[in-house]
Amino acid sequence: MSAAVFALLLGGAGMVMVASPAQAAEITFKVRCVPPAGGGSPVEGETTARITAPANAKVGDEVEVVWKTVKPASNNTDLMDIPKDSVQPTGWLALGGGTGELKLVGEKKNPPIPKKAPMVMSDMKGKLKLTKAGKVTLTPAKYDVAVTFPFGTFVTKCAPTGSVSAAHTIDVAGGGGPGGNTSNGNTNSGNTNSGNTNSGNTTSGNTDGGQNGGKTDFPGKPVQVKFDCGATVPGGITTPVTVNARKNGSGYDLTVKTAKDAMKAPVALPKGALKPSMDIKIGGADSGVVKVTGPANAEAIPQGAGVSLSDMTGTYKPGGSGKATLSPSDMLIEVTMAPGSAPLPVPCKAQSTGVSLELDVAAQPGGTTGNTSTTGNTSTGTAGNASTGGGLAETGAEDEGGLKALALVAGTVVLLGGAVFTFTPWRRLRGGTR
- pLDDT tens, N- to C-terminus, the chain (434 residues): 333 222 222 222 223 334 446 678 899 999 988 876 655 567 788 999 999 999 999 999 999 999 999 998 877 767 778 899 999 999 999 998 556 899 999 999 999 999 888 889 999 999 999 988 999 999 999 999 988 877 677 788 899 998 899 999 999 998 544 444 444 433 333 333 333 333 333 333 344 444 354 688 999 999 999 888 776 666 777 889 999 999 998 899 999 998 776 566 667 788 888 899 999 999 999 999 999 999 998 988 888 787 788 999 999 999 999 999 999 999 998 888 887 777 888 888 999 899 999 999 999 887 754 344 454 433 333 333 333 333 222 333 333 333 444 555 555 554 444 333 333 333 332 333 33
**pLDDT in the model for residue 302:** 87
**pLDDT in the model for residue 263:** 63
CATH code of the domain made up of 17-183: 2.60.40
E strand or H helix at 5? helix 3-6
User: Does residue 51 contact residue 28 with C-beta atoms inside 8 Å?
Assistant: no
Of 105, 91, 23, whose CA–CA distance to 56 is shortest?
23
pTM of the model: 0.48
**pLDDT in the model for residue 100:** 86
* Three-state SS annotation for 219-264: CCCCEEEEEECHHHCCCCEEEEEEEEEEEECCEEEEEEEECCCCEE
CA distance 148 to 288: 39
**pLDDT in the model for residue 67:** 96
Q: Where are the domains of the chain?
A: 17-183, 217-403
411 φ/ψ angles, rounded to the nearest 5 degrees: -65, -40
CA distance 133 to 101: 17
- 106-112: long-range contacts (C-beta < 8 A, 24 or more apart)? 107/188, 108/148, 108/188, 108/190, 109/85, 110/82, 110/84, 110/85, 110/86, 111/84, 112/81, 112/82, 112/83, 112/84
User: Does residue 238 contact residue 259 with C-beta atoms inside 8 Å?
Assistant: no
